[in-house]
Structure 1
């Protein structure tokens, strides 16, 4: 791991406008910290854990690409009229957490789980709660914690 962290920002693009605002917050925080990053779009929140796992496992097969030091998961689930909301929330969160714990990843979780678009915008907006920026900051803080414990990539 170099002194300048390299971050994978995984963006669930189902709610494209909200995804863009979350990414704007995350990228702003990464720029302020001096980190490098790669934005990776996925269709929805259920695909976020798989995308992170693909990046981790790809190092077993292709070592020429720079390893990511941390991961930022961004997306939004808005409650609808069916129970799909509950499944999307639970499974995306469980998947992200499982991958992070299994592979000792520094991860910032910026997946919003809200009742409506108004709540989503309050949480996503850079000028408001800026959950994308908070997720990026959490990722960077976890990278620092890994360094304290001398947990470097193998």
Structure 2
């Protein structure tokens, strides 16, 4: 049984509730456990996982958040740099599922976050578990 850390950038609470429900359901359905922490925004997700990965408490990580395009470059910075940070951790051998939605509007976010529709929170949890399974497989080979 694996223990996962779900970190949520809770900028849009109603959207995060859906992402979180999907992630928790996927982890529990696979027979694993989880803890959840809240961070200020998506840019803080990679740093949270970097800190947590230095402990032996967690086997894998799931990052959840929603970035909706606005009128400034902030969208591009947050979307690109948070994804880059999560990918860097993955390249270092940390099992991370990226559940940060980058969308044009709230309707797109709902369609992707809702467990009955896109279930991207569940998909992110499943991705983290898949990477963890590969890590264990490669370690035992």
RMSD (Å) for aligned C-alpha atoms = 1.1
1:45-85 deviation per Cα after TM superposition (whole angstroms, max 9, x unaligned):
0010111011123x2xxxxxx52110001101000111110
* Aligned twin of 1:94: 84
* Aligned twin of 1:134: 123
TM-score by length of 2: 0.95
For 2:50, which of 46, 50, 53 is the aligned residue?
Answer: 53
User: What displacement does 1:99 show?
Assistant: 2.0
Query: Any stretches of 5+ residues in structure 1 without a counterpart?
Result: 60-65
SS at match of 1:108: strand
1:91-145 deviation per Cα after TM superposition (whole angstroms, max 9, x unaligned):
100111112222x111111110000000000000010010000000111111111
Query: Any stretches of 5+ residues in structure 2 without a counterpart?
Result: none
CA contact (8 A) 2:89 2:96 kept: no
Give every structure 1 segment of 4 or more consecutive aligned residues whose post-TM-superposition deviation is greater than 3 Å.
Answer: none
Summarize the alignment of residues 116-131 of structure 1 with structure 2, pairs less than 5 Å apart: 116-131=105-120
Summarize the alignment of residues 13-92 of structure 1 with structure 2, pairs less than 5 Å apart: 13-57=10-54, 59=55, 66-92=56-82
SS at match of 1:145: helix
CA contact (8 A) 2:67 2:75 kept: yes
1:18-48 deviation per Cα after TM superposition (whole angstroms, max 9, x unaligned):
1111000000001101101010110110010
Larger Rg: 1
Number of equivalent positions:
140
